[in-house]
Amino acid sequence: MHSTLVRAQNVFGFFTTVAFFVAGLVSLTSLLYPANVSVDVIRANSVKMYCISSFISFSRAAGLCVGGRAHQYYATKVQEYAVLNFDLEADLSSLFNWNTKQVFAYVSATYPGSKYTDNEVVIWDTILPSRSASKLILKNERAKYSINDITGKFAGRDDVTLSFHWNVQPHVGRLTWGVVGLTEGVKFPEVEKAGKKSAAK
């Protein structure tokens, strides 16, 4: 009853029980924590459309997609891609509590289409490891990721909106997501011709 092995077993069993309860309490209490994320500014500044194609000479001759470069995904179709610039001011510090390991913040662009009616693409993301880094002020920030549509052609589509999301990664427990901040719709312009540097809104 009091051998070393039995004692070790008892200690280990007690440890796992306590660890289980502490983890449960930590995760449950953090779920009730009130979070108030404020987004002061979110705005799309400029959208530029470019075009890439692996058959550059062919497409130039055919009048499509001038100013392209080799296709980034080795496919043979002509692919348009858009680069956005945006402003963002947000304060995510209220999301940080005892159970927050990191906050993953991202800006996504949502736009419609005919074959695919619902499209959403993340254009920018960042990892906020602590409360001190959680105030975001971005002015005319270039999108990290360009948008290319599954169909390859999406110039001229209207009602493109930007939204700001966050994802709280806990130390233990349930992951939570939130979204705030929807801009007014902007439009994907036509493809830029090479040599003409015009910013379309």
**Nearest of 124, 114, 196, 193 to residue 158 by alpha carbon:** 114
Q: Which is nearer to other proteins, 24 or 156 (CB)?
A: 24
149 scored as a contact of other proteins (CB under 8 A): yes
**Cβ 193 to other proteins shortest distance, Å:** 27
1 scored as a contact of other proteins (CB under 8 A): no
Q: Which is nearer to other proteins, 60 or 163 (CB)?
A: 163
Among 75, 137, 194, 200, binds other proteins (CB under 8 A): 75
**Cβ 98 to other proteins shortest distance, Å:** 14
CA-CA-CA-CA torsion for 34, 128, 25, 15, nearest 10 degrees?
A: -170
Give the range of 42-50, 53-61, 110-118, 185-193 binding other proteins by CB under 8 A: 110-118
**Nearest of 28, 190, 166 to residue 93 by alpha carbon:** 166
126-to-53, 135, 149, 179 alpha-carbon distances in Å:
30, 12, 22, 15
Among 121, 143, 160, 162, binds other proteins (CB under 8 A): 121
Q: How far is CA 163 from the centre of its chain?
A: 9
The two three-digit tokens of residue 2, written as one number: 């009091």
28 scored as a contact of other proteins (CB under 8 A): no
